[in-house]
Amino acid sequence: MRIESITDEVHHGFLAARPASFLQNPRWPQVKTDWRGESLGWFDSEELVAVSVVLHRHLPVPLLKSRSLAYLADGPVFDPARVELDAILAPLAPYLQRQGAFMIRMGLPVVHRRWDSQEVRRALAAGEHQLITDLEPLEVNEQAEAMRRTLLDAGWIEPSAGEDFAAGQPPFQARIPLPEQPEPRPEPGAVVSEDPAEFTAVVDEVLGRMDQSSRRQTRKSTRTELTVTEGGLEDLGVWQRLYEETAERDGFTGRPQSYFERMYRELNDSPTAECRLLLASLGDQPLAAAIYVRQGDTGWYVYGASSSEERKRYAPRALQLEQLRRSLAAGDRWYDLGGVSATLNPEHELAGLTRFKTTMGADVVQTLGEWDLPLNKVLTRAFNFYMARRG
């Protein structure tokens, strides 16, 4: 097995036949301008068997500018039924060490366990457990457990399952499993009333996963004067105003508009992904906006924003329904609502996020998380200390 840089074209060709996160799209490094990106390929003889986007973050120290953190978010992408993880790991550290990496952080794109949305909701309401991992899972992936043992044996450091979010991608994700639906499926932008009856039945099946309140609000959003439209690059100013209003209301620091412009351009320039700006308006008044991404077998609700006006029209619910419909129309397997905490303490500040996403019908899946391999222990300790102090 050998590892080397590959072109975007080769990378896209590999992804076209396999499900993968948009964080593994070869255009993604153009969005993350604070990092240096490259596409890597693993070759067994002449056959390409794995790929990964690697982001390099260089140390902000003049004498150590050549040293970097090498980050593989949701990668590498490979078929574990054909390629052993040992074979993937063997050339990775030597290659990245030659590139100046002092540490590798890697989050393999594999689900370890899954919990039913209703069970998680009930456990949150009862407050009898501390963590989701205390519950009986709906599914356990034995192959993921074997990968975990391989990583431990190879000296990788396992992430801890805490209640708070750490840097990087959360290991616990809220995902709505989507049923298969018969043809014909509508085009993503079609009006709900024009959907084929079979497709409408599948949409209703997904809505049936929601709790009563979420389902009622979602249906109510379709019976008001709201209009849902798809915006373009020129409409990101509308998005940014709603996003900044949301950030001020909810007390978080948002990203600049330039970030979303890069995200929109780069992912839509990719042959394996799409990025859409969706708007819900009352007449000429935008009430909510969402940034939706599709790649492989998954649709992602990546960012959302809303106005404080006309809250009882449930504009954000209308956008969630539109994103669900688009994922179903594309034949996706999952609609991903993003990360959640592992906490089941109903008083924890992140419990409300889990409660909301599970009321939407999302199961909670636990990935293997992001593992670290220190290549220079002194620099790794200094880096971790710096990140902890930065908060």
pLDDT in tens, 238-259: 999 999 999 999 999 999 999 9
Mean pLDDT across the chain: 93
Helix (H) or strand (E) run with residue 338 in it: strand 334-339
| pLDDT at position 234 over 70 | yes
Q: Where are the beta strands (DSSP E) in 118-185?
A: 139-140, 172-177
DSSP label of 244: H
Candidates 310, 358, 324; CA nearest to 122 is 358
> Helix, strand or coil for residue 302?
strand
| pLDDT at position 192 over 70 | no
Give me the mean pLDDT over the 21-31 stretch: 98
Give me the mean pLDDT over the 350-357 stretch: 95
Helix (H) or strand (E) run with residue 294 in it: strand 285-295
> Helix, strand or coil for residue 380?
helix
Q: What is the pLDDT of residues 287-339, one digit of tens each?
A: 999 999 999 999 999 999 999 999 999 999 999 999 999 999 899 999 999 99
DSSP label of 160: P
Residue ranges per structural domain of the chain = 2-110+369-390, 111-174+341-367, 179-332
| Paired tokens of 352 | 């409300």
Asked if 338 and 174 count as a contact pair (C-beta separation under 8 A), the reply is: yes
> Helix, strand or coil for residue 265?
helix
Q: What is the pLDDT of residue 189?
A: 54
Residues of the chain with pLDDT > 90, as a percent, come to: 85
From the options 3.30.70.3340, 3.40.630.30, 3.30.70.20, 3.40.190.10, give the CATH code of 179-332.
3.40.630.30
| pLDDT at position 120 over 60 | yes
CB-based contacts of 101, cutoff 8 Å, min separation 6: 56, 67, 68, 69, 70, 375
Q: What is the pLDDT of residue 292?
A: 98
| pLDDT at position 60 over 80 | no
Q: How far apart are CA 52 and CA 38, in angstroms?
A: 8
How many whole angstroms from its chain centre is CA 14?
A: 20
Q: What residues does 173 pair with on adjacent strands? A: 339, 365
pTM: 0.93
Topology of 2-110+369-390 in CATH?
Answer: Aminopeptidase (3.40.630)
DSSP codes of every residue in 34-95: TSEEEEEEEEETTEEEEEEEEEEEE-SSGGGTT-EEEEETT--EE-TTTS-HHHHHHHHHHH
* Torsion angles phi and psi, residue 4, rounded to 5: -155, 165
Helix (H) or strand (E) run with residue 364 in it: strand 363-367
> Helix, strand or coil for residue 168?
coil
| pLDDT at position 233 over 90 | yes
Candidates 391, 300, 384; CA nearest to 105 is 384
Asked if 172 and 364 count as a contact pair (C-beta separation under 8 A), the reply is: yes
Q: What is the pLDDT of residue 166?
A: 75
How many whole angstroms from its chain centre is CA 131?
A: 21
Residue found by looking up tokens 């956008």 in the block? 319
Give me the mean pLDDT over the 382-389 stretch: 76
